[in-house]
Structure 1
Amino acid sequence: MQTDQYRGYTLWGHAILQQENHVPPERFAGSGTIMRDSKVVVASGVLGVFDTDEEAESAGLSWCRAWVDNHG
């Protein structure tokens, strides 16, 4: 999980391991959560499936920043 502070919000990028039929290679679903004052403001659904946990987390943080830019 990656976190970032952006325009007064705390952003979280998540990577969720996908174990389809338990066959490698591992893949990761990405999502994001936005918090302000220790309260969840909004959370995304699954944003896509990625080859690495870092890519999934980065996608989550990108989604969060875009949401703040449009709604914050």
Structure 2
Amino acid sequence: MARRARANRIWYLLLVPPAVAPLLTPLYNRIEPTVWGLPFFYWYQLMCAVLAMVLITVVHMATRERRHEWQ
């Protein structure tokens, strides 16, 4: 059991980039380049939100306990 808990901690490291990336304001505080008329500021934040959803799903699927559906 402890071995599995240790392995799960590695998966949780994937949750760090979606939490840190939006905090790096100087990195995306600009207008150019634009995508479909959206300034970089907005599409970077949208990309961060999509990346967070994907990584949270991956971590959840990798670390969840396997349960029987009929219990």
Report the TM-score range of the alignment, normalised by the length of the smaller protein: 0.3 to 0.5
- Highest relative contact order (Cα 8 Å, sep 6+), 1 or 2? 2
Point out the structure with the larger strand share.
1
TM-score, normalization by structure 2:
0.36
TM-score, normalization by structure 1:
0.36
